[in-house]
Amino acid sequence: MNLLEASIESIQQTMDSGSLTAVQLTQYYLDRIATYDQQGPALNSIQTINSAALEHAAALDEERSKQGARSLLHGIPILVKDNYETKGMPTTVGSVLFQGYSPGRDAHLVAKLKDAGVVLLGKTTMQEFAYGITNVGSIHGFTRNPYDPTRNPGGSSGGTGAAIAANFAVTGLGSDTCGSIRIPAAQNNLVGLRGTQGLMSRRGIFPLSSTQDIGGPLTKSVRDLAIMLDQMIGYDAEDAQTAESFGHNFQFLANLQIREKVRIGLLREWMEREEGDEAVAGVIREALTAMSEKAGWEIIELESAELEASLDRPLEGYFVSAYDFKQDVNAYLQANPEMGFRDLEELLALGKHHPKVDLRTQKSMAMRSEDEPTYYREMAQRKVVRRALLRLLAENNLDALAYPSIRHVAAPIGEDQMGTNCRLAACSGMPAISVPAGFYGELPVGLELLAEPWADQKLLDLAYTVESMHSQRRLPRSTP
């Protein structure tokens, strides 16, 4: 079979037939990584290769021959963002400060996927501390976008985004605090869901903001996304936030369906906010026009002064994540003394982190105990943001809200990336999905759809409809 762009289901069928093994599949991806990641376009998307990957694949092949497959993920090679703890492999969080740190345990989501039978192929590069959206870190430098290697792949999960777009694995893991799954999905022509806060466990993911952090896959198709999510979601007794998911029994793949004749609200203010936004906005409008013609979607353009005002807050709505970073990293370092740092101040005092993350870390370091009342006010403000979004949905009888995942195409390497729309989901806890909408020149554009809490299945359905009727997935030219 042609393994480029092959889906999880087609790979499983081929392995079940005996004409493909997990060892062959793993070697295929290792060969592509060797060809394209450190030479060729030198995407620099892989931080560490798992030296035991082929051995593990062989064991899974033997298990399949004797007992059959554990799940649809049996023998499927995946890549994992380097802020997930992984047993037997380093977890660097993109920083030279954590070089060699290997926690000896798996993050909860990694453990669940291993139980489902995946082959952990390696770890991907990321924005240092997950604090930014251009995917630069002191341990690896800049990661490049396979659609244009002179540009960034988004972040902070940009290594996973670039690697999956370039077919270095079947699928991979990222994490989203404010756009860190959805932006790389948009800029690498992939699908990525920021689930309802609490949909899956954060345990074992190095924290940026415990209030906003959530893990999730980056995939080439919605069906692959559904298969991954089915194995990842659910209650974890060691992450109290996942108790919110109790009573929501999702079966994403089994219930995936086309949704025609829906009502979608297009957020006008989140299409064009500043100069340079019009190019991406044009691609989004074309995609929604296509959905109107092909699937009978009714598109209603909306404005909301209430929503705008609810997000006009200290640090432009980023106060909570800036405050959380200091508190959460301090707690993580104290719980893991083998990392060698007592707190964030000691960590940053060495000055070894990349200059591109310094402005953000300085904002977090400036937080003091007297900022606590402001923090709790901002936490309460999240209910106001959520209510403003829900009012828009309710008063206009909408199935979802639509806007670009990021209003600018990928910026050149070394330049700041502008145009993020990450706050709508991150500051409300509501789910949002990014799905390929089209291209501006050679650069991908992502359509983001947001819906009410626990409407994650509906969002997958809507993205599946876009993918089925307005398919935009195509190979990047730099990694043929």
Beta bridge partners of 236: 239
CA angle 39, 354, 415 (to 5 degrees): 70
CB hemisphere CA count around 229 (13 angstroms): 30
What total number of domains does the chain contain?
Answer: 1
Q: Name the strand (E) or helix (H) holding 80.
A: strand 77-81
Q: Would the pTM count as exceeding 0.95?
A: yes
Residue closest to 323 by CA, chosen among 212, 215, 239: 212
| Catalytic member of 45, 81, 310, 321 | 81
Q: Is residue 15 in some structural domain?
A: yes
Q: Is residue 476 in some structural domain?
A: no
Q: What is the pLDDT of residues 412-446, one digit of tens each?
A: 999 999 999 999 999 999 999 999 999 999 999 99
Residue closest to 475 by CA, chosen among 143, 145, 147: 147
| CA dist 9 → 189, 219, 313 (Å) | 20, 13, 45
Q: What is the pLDDT of residues 236-278, one digit of tens each?
A: 999 999 999 999 999 999 999 999 999 999 999 999 999 999 9
Q: What is the DSSP string of 311-352?
A: H--GGGGTHHHHHHHHHHHHHHHHH-GGGS-SSHHHHHHT--
Residue closest to 317 by CA, chosen among 381, 388, 253, 251: 381
Question: What is the domain range of residue 30?
Answer: 8-469
Q: Are 304 and 267 in contact (CB under 8 A)?
A: yes
The pLDDT confidence band at residue 312, using thresholds 50, 70 and 90, is confident
Specify the DSSP class assigned to residue 416: P
Structure tokens at 122: 């390696």
Q: Is residue 226 in some structural domain?
A: yes
Instruction: Tell me whether residue 87 is one of the annotated catalytic residues.
Output: no
Q: Is residue 147 in some structural domain?
A: yes
The tokens 């800029």 sit on which residue?
Answer: 187
Q: Is residue 96 in some structural domain?
A: yes
Q: Is residue 309 in some structural domain?
A: yes
Q: What is the pLDDT of residues 114-172, one digit of tens each?
A: 999 999 999 999 999 999 999 999 999 999 999 999 999 999 999 999 999 999 999 99
Q: Is residue 477 in some structural domain?
A: no
Q: What is the pLDDT of residues 325-356, one digit of tens each?
A: 999 999 999 999 999 999 999 999 999 999 99
Q: What is the pLDDT of residues 24-50, one digit of tens each?
A: 999 999 999 999 998 888 999 999 999
Helix axis angle, 222-232 to 108-116, nearest 10°: 110
Give the separation between CA 465 and CA 446, rounded to whole angstroms.
Answer: 15
Residue closest to 428 by CA, chosen among 390, 398, 400: 390
Q: Are 16 and 40 in contact (CB under 8 A)?
A: no
Give the CATH number of the domain where residue 446 resides.
3.90.1300.10
Residue closest to 402 by CA, chosen among 291, 267, 308, 289: 267
Instruction: Tell me whether residue 458 is one of the annotated catalytic residues.
Output: no
Q: Is residue 3 in some structural domain?
A: no
Rg from Cα positions in the chain? 21
Instruction: Tell me whether residue 180 is one of the annotated catalytic residues.
Output: yes
**Alpha carbon distance, N-terminus to C-terminus of the chain:** 16
Structure tokens at 411: 């910026």
Residue closest to 339 by CA, chosen among 171, 91, 164: 91
The pLDDT value given to residue 234? 96
Give percent helix, percent strand, percent coil of the chain, each to the nearest 5.
40, 15, 40
Residue closest to 276 by CA, chosen among 410, 423, 132, 149: 410
| Catalytic member of 180, 245, 304, 364 | 180
Rounded average pLDDT over 69-82: 98
| Catalytic member of 156, 310, 364, 478 | 156
